[in-house]
Structure 1
Amino acid sequence: MTVKIAISAAETSGDLIGSKLVAALKAQNVTVQIEGLAGDEMVKAGCTQLWDQKQVNVMGFSEVLKKLPSLLRLRKTMIDYFCANKPDVFIGVDGPDFNFVIEKKLKQQGVKTVHFISPSVWAWRQSRIKKIKKSTDLVLCLFPFEVDFYQKHKQRAVFVGHPLAETLHPREGYQSTKTILLMPGSRVSEVTRLLPELLAAAQIMVQQDPQLKFHVVLANDELLAWAKPLATDANVCISVGDAHQRMPQVDLVLVASGTATLELALIGVPMVVVYKLSAFSYFIASRLVKIKWVSLPNIIANKSLVPELIQGDANGENIAQYAMEILNGNGQNLVAEFKKIHQQLTLNASEESARLIGEFINE
């Protein structure tokens, strides 16, 4: 009998991680049918795309409000479809605010539900644990400290490691290229706020070291069209979609807070982390966050490994100052800390998750 799996990946990072899970599920059972809300990487891995992940890839409270009507329509369409075509299991990949409602409705209809990638409920909006318990039968956690939180609240959860640790490894014998990578994020809202500040930092840095070269990596051609007029300096180049090829080849990355910070840590690349929301979004978020840091390397290590510049502090002058301190310093201790993170997260997460989901379906 063919196993039918429904899946929903609501963000770019979820598409990447979801693609590895889809591939592992296919390897475990070649006849499995996987369909749902997916991005390009998940489609390549064998998922049938019923809805395009780009439809829900937004960031921040004010940004979500603008797209709320279309988001609600899409979610209702997905719920209606999977209620009429019940899968053996529904997997929500990240995107908790979008996926939990779907999970809750399907769970009420007797569909088993899994949430792959625990939301940061341990960090902010901890009251969401009530929603999680009503929505999700099983939470698959990418970080070990997350399981402790769920155990306290009697929610079934398992640490599976991080899929990115399977494919990203610490670089060895790196020699300086005098190249700095600028990664302002994947969403229009964050790129428009952060890229001007990153380029301003680049101008300051090249004045201090004329040998420095800068490369901006963007997520898509839409962002490229917007950014090209800004990056007119001869020492700044722009490309689209090749971040993973470029990350191991640079001395430092100026990066928006998000999954990219973990990717850099797994490779062992120093970074300055920047984070900037709209004034309204930040006003709300700053009152809900329960942790000291915003970047994953610092959260995992439970100490300040990399600089974090938030809101008004994320300006060209500050970014340049921290960046030059890193470039002029000795980064061996930082690289050693990054290797510890890699070792901690390496558990063959995709295969382990696929195995647990298979067992869960057959319970």
Structure 2
Amino acid sequence: MQHPPQYSPKVAMVAGETSGDLLAGLLLDGLQAQWPGVAGHGIGGAQMQARGFDAWWPSERLAVHGYSIELVRRLLGILKIRKDLRARLLADKPDVFIGVDAPDFNLGLERGLRAAGVKTVHFVCPSIWAWRANRVEKIRASADHVLCIFPFEPELLARHGIAATYVGHPLASVIPMQPDQQAARAQLGLAKDDEVLAILPGSRSAEVAYIAKPFFQAAALIRKARPAIKLVVPAVPALRARIEQIARECGVLEQLTLVTGQSHAVLAACDCTLIASGTATLEAALFKRPMVIAYHMHPISWRLMRRKQLQPWVGLPNILCRDFVVPELLQDAATPQALADAVQQWLDAPARDPARMASLERRFTALHESLRRDTPRLAADAIQKILA
């Protein structure tokens, strides 16, 4: 089907949480370069709204944590939003619906819209290669096309009859190949020769509730061994007060430098990071920083997740490198002493094990190169072909 020269598609989108909002904002950049009049409507956050997106509900309404207990508490409200959104979109059908991440919410919505004749795109392949492989059938029924951020995903989806395009990972273009550590330290008020540990206990309240305490207890142990070390914590504004409270209970609040946001500056500035499993671990890898990955969740959620896990790794850097490039301390293994010991091994490595540091930088540089693509343009080109 050929569209007239001034054609501008009607686009509906749903992005969940901060990471989805960032991805959707970059996608809107590509769509607007292709079709200057596109703005979109649906569910989105600040990045999308800055590009003219009409957010009928904010992305934060979809934010959940865990697999069972935490999800149940908010399930009814989320299902009501999805029902209302579906009714609005069916009453005035878009040319294309783009579900950005949030697969538990978006795939069911996409399936209903697709059945009604709406073209559907899912941006970010659900991690069927890591756990919940049975979800592939739902993807096939829901999405006309999948935009993938990891290079091995299109071939995997093709085996199941699902059309997909690798568009690269947006973070790989945002983060420089060679980060300027000294500029980042100057930005944060740190000295050139400081030893710096970045502590990232997560961007969700439930993550902070479970992992911040052992992180700060580990920080206290590290401080005893290395009194001069600088501890820097980037906190999302909504969680800053809670992080301060937990740090105070652990007796390290006075030793921390708490900054609002600025996680990229903190990762660029640090020598090592103690970090909760999630997208931030990939950011740390792109900054070529040693890390200790940890996670803790409700015991029932943990048992359910472990049953469905398909790979031996949980952290994205290890999954993508297909190796335990950095240590993972999960659930009961994430004790303060174990975390402190693993961090100090990295801090000692430049002097005691330089080969380990050199190997880490080589692996993370190769990973960075494999992920860096013109994501907005590639995604918009794929969507244009679907609409044509």
Bucket of the pairwise TM-score, normalised by the shorter protein? over 0.9
Offset of residue 78 of structure 1? 1.0
State which of 87, 91, 94 in structure 2 corresponds to 1:87.
94
User: What is the match of residue 76 of structure 1?
Assistant: 83
Tell me which stretches of 4 or more aligned residues in structure 1 moved more than 2 Å: 170-177, 229-234
User: What is the match of residue 41 of structure 1?
Assistant: 47
State which of 46, 64, 79 in structure 2 corresponds to 1:58.
64
Offset of residue 237 of structure 1? 2.1
The AA in structure 1 aligned to 2:196 is: T
State whether structure 2 residue 206 is matched by structure 1 residue 180.
no
The AA in structure 1 aligned to 2:148 is: C
**What RMSD, in angstroms, separates the aligned Cα atoms of the two structures?**
1.4
Contact 1:177 1:249 in 2 (8 A): no
**Which TM-score applies when normalising by structure 1?**
0.96
User: What is the match of residue 245 of structure 2?
Assistant: 229
**Which TM-score applies when normalising by structure 2?**
0.90
| Cα distance change, pair 113–172 in 1 and its aligned pair in 2 (3 A) | closer
| Cα distance change, pair 29–52 in 1 and its aligned pair in 2 (3 A) | same
- Farther off after superposition, 243-252 or 227-236: 227-236
Aligned to 1:286, the other structure's residue is in SS state helix
User: What is the match of residue 293 of structure 1?
Assistant: 313
Q: How far apart, in 1, do the equivalents of 2:193 and 2:150 lie?
A: 32
Q: How far apart, in 1, do the equivalents of 2:259 and 2:74 lie?
A: 28
- Farther off after superposition, 208-217 or 38-47: 38-47
State whether structure 2 residue 116 is matched by structure 1 residue 109.
yes
Q: How many residues get paired?
A: 361
Aligned to 2:217, the other structure's residue is in SS state helix
Offset of residue 46 of structure 1? 3.0
Offset of residue 41 of structure 1? 1.6
The AA in structure 2 aligned to 1:156 is: A
Offset of residue 176 of structure 1? 5.2
Aligned to 2:50, the other structure's residue is in SS state helix
Offset of residue 104 of structure 1? 0.3
> Equivalent residues in 2 for 1:332-351 (5 A)?
332-351=358-377
Contact 2:8 2:35 in 1 (8 A): no
Contact 1:168 1:267 in 2 (8 A): yes
User: What is the match of residue 137 of structure 1?
Assistant: 144
Give the number of the structure whose alpha-carbon radius of gyration is greater: 2
Contact 1:3 1:33 in 2 (8 A): no
Structure 2: unaligned runs, 5 residues or longer: 1-6, 182-191
The AA in structure 1 aligned to 2:260 is: V
State whether structure 2 residue 324 is matched by structure 1 residue 304.
yes
Contact 1:177 1:250 in 2 (8 A): no
User: What is the match of residue 340 of structure 2?
Assistant: 320
* Aligned sequence identity (%): 36
- Farther off after superposition, 21-30 or 336-345: 21-30
Contact 1:270 1:326 in 2 (8 A): yes
Contact 1:177 1:251 in 2 (8 A): no
Aligned to 1:154, the other structure's residue is in SS state coil
User: What is the match of residue 150 of structure 1?
Assistant: 157
Offset of residue 172 of structure 1? 5.0
| Cα distance change, pair 177–48 in 1 and its aligned pair in 2 (3 A) | farther
Contact 1:179 1:250 in 2 (8 A): yes
State whether structure 2 residue 208 is matched by structure 1 residue 191.
yes
> Equivalent residues in 2 for 1:244-255 (5 A)?
244-255=264-275
Q: How far apart, in 1, do the equivalents of 2:194 and 2:367 lie?
A: 25
- Farther off after superposition, 96-105 or 10-19: 10-19
